[in-house]
Chains A and B, each alone.
Chain A
Amino acid sequence: MIDVETIRLRLEELGVATSPEELQELASAYPALVAWMRMAEELARDADQELPE
């Protein structure tokens, strides 16, 4: 889904240094973070405005 290097680059773009151990932990937790994002999207569906068909 996302690898350690991608996370490192994203944080580096923001100027935030991250150790290899921290990157590994972030990569391990990332799938759950994505699951949260999907839950939010799903629950927001009624509230979000969508383009008409």
Chain B
Amino acid sequence: MNLHYRSLLDVSELMRTKRLSPVELTREMLERIDRLNPSLGAYYTVFADQALAEARAAESEIAGGAWRGPLHGVPIAFKDLYELGPTTCGSKLLADHVAEREADLVTRARVEGAVILGKLATHEFGLAAATLADHFPPARNPWDPDRTPGGSSTGAGTALAAGMAFGAFGTDTGGSVRLPAAFSGVVGYKPTSGLLSTKGVIPLSPSLDHAGPMARTVADAAALASIRPHPTLPPWGGGEVRGLRVGVPRDFWDAGDPQVREHVEAAIRALAGAGAAVEDLSLGFGVVQVMAIGYLITLSEAAAFHLATLRSGRSGYGHEFGLVLRAGLLVPGHSYVHAQNARAGISRRMTTVFESHDVLAMPTVGAFADPLPAGPRPLTRRISEQPTPQYTWLANLYGGPAVSVPCGFTSEGLPVGLQLMGRPGDDATVLRAAHAYEQAAGWRDMHPPRWP
């Protein structure tokens, strides 16, 4: 296998044992980014000189016996919502903005000795869907460059699927780490709320925002999550799922594309075949209700954050993002309170669900990657009583861990994601189940044929 498609932990081990030079690896990454990025648009900014300097420092330290840990010398990247050098949030509004500080997770990655390759494309401020008419060219899906890689962490999905980074940090307010993971055929992990710091990440909806790692394997994503300042993630061990109680809330995911359902059902059968105790259960609410609550909270909080800038008349917001902010201003206070109360009710229901189940299994999203639109989508596509079902919002509402892992391909050759969700604080069980499925399924070895 090409070096650029090896896992983060593989290259880390090669560097720890001095069989691979961090400088050579970083040079290969930079050369690949230079070659592929004009076609795929994963990166807004590449820190070539700085990355090579970090790689040389890592090489010297490792040669001297001072290996810092699994990220030492490993080339990774950050979504452009993290404060780190040029930080545009995918918006013309901040096209020339350079952050004066660094996000907590960036600082922590430096402490771990990671090599930071650059800043990755994003939907504007983590929400408005990318289009071909945007100020920044959109990231493209390596499995079909005419399609979106999913968002909002678009560049992370693209970079990982095309072998342009070994890991990435995205953000996830309603699925923005897991949706691009599903559409791009990689792994996205939204940890338990609060596990990874969001300090220094430009907010979208502070009560729902999460930082989350993306990678090509579950173990790599877990390694990235281990950089938080106060480790609380217990060892998640190997891939054994025998006896694991897997709930399948089919009343929650009765919508969506039949091809997606077919692959997810096959993945659930594989978990059962590996010894998990699988049973159907009812959550008592549907995906449209969950998305409605998530969006009411997100639109309201985003509108509050951006109101002063909107009022100032400063130009630069894209068409869709400007509209969703105004829609957020039309949500009355009592509706925001209802949404937060409904969220509390859902959290209580999930507490009950996880008394008798260890993880829930469902699709990440009931669709596969759309063609990139030529221009802004109508607002009725975003604010709709029949939205594309995104099963991701649930975990943001109750705060539990969730992982999207590849589970097959559509007849068009586009990836499909299986999502596993767990009880808050029990990230280890969700990672273990996802890893077990990943090992059994073998999708992790599939890479986009256009970018060998």
| A interface residues with partner B (beta carbon < 8 Å) | 7, 10-11, 14-18, 22, 25-26, 28-30, 32-33, 35-37, 39-41, 43-44, 46-48
Minimum CB–CB distance from B81 to chain A (whole Å) comes to 23
A sample of 8 inter-chain contacts (CB < 8 A) reads: A26-B323, A26-B327, A33-B331, A36-B295, A40-B339, A43-B293, A43-B345, A44-B337
**In the complex, B335 has a CB within 8 A of chain A:** yes
Besides A14-B307, A25-B380, 17 new A-B residue pairs in contact (Cβ under 8 A), listed by A number? A10-B329, A11-B326, A11-B329, A18-B326, A22-B322, A22-B326, A25-B323, A26-B323, A28-B379, A30-B330, A39-B342, A40-B292, A40-B338, A40-B339, A40-B342, A43-B342, A43-B346
Known: A11-B329, A35-B385, A39-B292. A25 touches B379 (CB 8 A): yes
Contacts A16-B311, A16-B326, A26-B323 given; indicate if A44 touches B338 (C-beta within 8 A).
yes
Q: Find out whether the CB atom of B311 lies under 8 angstroms from the CB atom of A39.
A: no
The answer to whether B310 and A16 touch across the interface, beta carbons within 8 angstroms, is yes
Any A CB within 8 A of the CB of B341? yes
A26 / chain B contacts, CB cutoff of 8 Å: 323, 326-327, 330, 379
Q: Is the CB of A43 within 8 A of B383?
A: no
Known contacts A7-B330, A15-B311, A37-B335; is A44 also within 8 Å of B341 by CB? Answer: yes
A40-B293 contact, Cβ under 8 Å, with A11-B329, A30-B330: yes
A17 with B289: CB separation less than 8 A: no
Nearest A residue to B306 via CB reads A16
Contacts of B296 in A (CB 8 A): 36-37, 40
- Do B380 and A29 have beta carbons less than 8 Å apart? yes
B313 CB-CB contact with A under 8 Å: yes
Report the Cα distance A10→B329, complex, angstroms. 9
B98: chain A residues at CB < 8 Å are none
Residue pair A33, B330 in contact (C-beta under 8 Å): yes
Contact indicator A44/B342 (Cβ below 8 Å) = yes
Chain A residues with Cβ under 8 A from B337's Cβ?
44
Chain B residues in 8 Å Cβ range of A43: 285, 289, 293, 338, 342, 345-346
Enumerate chain B residues within 8 angstroms of A30, measured Cβ to Cβ.
Answer: 330
The interface residues of chain A lying within 8 Å CB-to-CB of B379 are: 25-26, 28-29
- What chain B residues lie within 8 Å of A47 (beta carbons)? 341-342, 344-345
Query: CB < 8 Å: which of A16, A36, A40 contacts B383?
Result: A36
B323 and A32: CB pair below 8 A?
no
0/1 per residue, B362-391, Cβ < 8 Å to A? Answer: 000000000000000011101111000000
Q: List the B residue with the shortest CB-CB distance to A36.
A: B292
Residue of A nearest to B335 (CB): A37
Q: What is the bound-complex CA distance between A16 and B329, given in angstroms?
A: 10
Q: Which B residues from 304 to 363 make CB contacts under 8 A with A?
A: 307, 310-311, 313, 322-323, 326-327, 329-332, 335, 337-339, 341-342, 344-346
| Interface pair A48/B326, CB less than 8 Å apart | no
Q: Does B267 contact A (CB under 8 A)?
A: no
B288 within 8 A of A: yes
Give Cα A17–Cα B341 distance, bound, in whole angstroms.
32
Complex Cα–Cα for A50 and B295 (A):
25
Which residues from chain A contact B385 at a C-beta distance below 8 Å? 32, 35-36
Selected contact of B378 from candidates A7, A25, A44, A46, CB within 8 Å: A25
